[in-house]
Amino acid sequence: MIIDCHGHYTTAPKALQDYREKQIAGLKDPAHVPTKDALNITDDQIRESLEGAQLKFQRERGSDLTIFSPRASAMGHHIGNETTSRYWTEQCNDLIYRVCSLYPENFVGVCQLPQSPGVAPARCISELERCVNQLGFIGCNLNPDPSGGNWTAPPLTDKYWYPFYEKMVELDVPAMIHVSATCNPNFHTTGSHYINADTTAFMQFITSDLFKDFPNIRFIIPHGGGAVPYHWGRYRGLAQDLKRPPLDEMMRNNVFFDTCVYHQAGIDLLFKIVSIDNILFGSEMVGAVRGIDPTTSHYYDDTKRYVDKVPLTESDKRKVYEENTRKVYPRINKRISHKAR
């Protein structure tokens, strides 16, 4: 079985974006009182949005199940206030629930969180509980920079985040560290902000005792761990100079990289450098890079092609494609049996 740990609902029906635009327009009117409002999307519209995209690619590329969350770039935690973020988040998560209900064998849900700049992460606990306990979600996407590129929140290793982490551990769900769109013109959302956030989070983990405080917490750093595998010697050396644990030891039970690296040489490096137990198959399709690579005639984000070319034992392949992901997101086991498909 092949589980793709990283998919966003980037192809949601247009009514979702219309809702968001209406919500944002309301922010400009001082007399505006925010309401959640209804979102009119039919089951057929949801089916249509997926059949020609994620489901088609699952079939064509040969993956079985996608761990699916709202569009990351659209989370936009920096827009409006906590109420804006909460209503938008609930709509997005409810839509993921409907996707997973319509296609229970193809998608399992991960939630967006109602983060907002300056608002304590503890305020996201109720939405995490709702998504996990009521909607059957198996994890969340945690934004280390709700300000959208101004990096005003405390580091992920600060006690500011601890109440939320306690709930993650209690519910036994991991978080993928994933920023959203940036409003800082220095950064390009998918080109630099995403990758920078991955690299930033890893270095925060190196320099803190977070995993002493939370030995069972699990984080996925997406996009192949940002710059980390390429600069593995730098991070090993920094950890050593700073008298911190070796990287493999720090990562072991707590930090995992996905395979969202869009060329063969990058994937080869990832598998050469990072322990096989800490790599989860992921593609982020349909996502940041949508084109076809003219040098291979295949989609850049068809990461299964690259992973298939890495010389791995059958046992290691099973780890990357399924078993590691089941360990990191254990609630998936209640949803999808090992024998499915």
* Active-site amino acid positions: 284
Tokens 């990289």 correspond to 257
* 223 vs 335 by CB, closer to its own copies: 223
Phi, psi of 31 (to 5 degrees): -85, -5
Under the binding rule (CB under 8 A), the answer on residue 204 touching its own copies is yes
Segment lying near its own copies (by CB under 8 A), choices 25-33, 99-107, 125-133, 284-292: 284-292
Under the binding rule (CB under 8 A), the answer on residue 275 touching its own copies is no
Residue 299: closest CA among 259, 263, 257, 258: 263
Which position among 4, 90, 258, 301 is part of the footprint of its own copies (CB under 8 A)? 301
Six-digit token pair at 106?
A: 């193809």
* 90 vs 302 by CB, closer to its own copies: 302
72-75 contacts, C-beta under 8 A, 24 or more apart:
72/8, 72/141, 72/178, 72/179, 72/180, 73/180, 73/181, 73/189, 73/190, 74/17, 74/20, 74/180, 74/181, 75/112, 75/115, 75/141, 75/143, 75/180, 75/181
Which position among 24, 122, 135, 289 is part of the footprint of its own copies (CB under 8 A)? 289
Q: What is the DSSP letter of 155?
A: P
Pairing of strands 65-70, 107-109: parallel
Under the binding rule (CB under 8 A), the answer on residue 163 touching its own copies is no
Six-digit token pair at 212?
A: 């002493």
Segment lying near its own copies (by CB under 8 A), choices 19-27, 64-72, 103-111, 229-237: 229-237
Under the binding rule (CB under 8 A), the answer on residue 323 touching its own copies is no
Distance, in Å, from the CA atom of 148 to the CA atom of 182, rounded to the nearest integer, reads 4
Which position among 65, 99, 113, 195 is part of the footprint of its own copies (CB under 8 A)? 195
Residue count at the site for its own copies (CB under 8 A)? Answer: 57
| Interacting residue ranges for its own copies, rule: CB under 8 A | 144-145, 149-151, 153-155, 158, 184-188, 190-192, 195-196, 199-200, 202-204, 206-207, 223-224, 226-227, 229-238, 240-241, 261-263, 265-266, 269, 272-273, 288-291, 293, 300-301
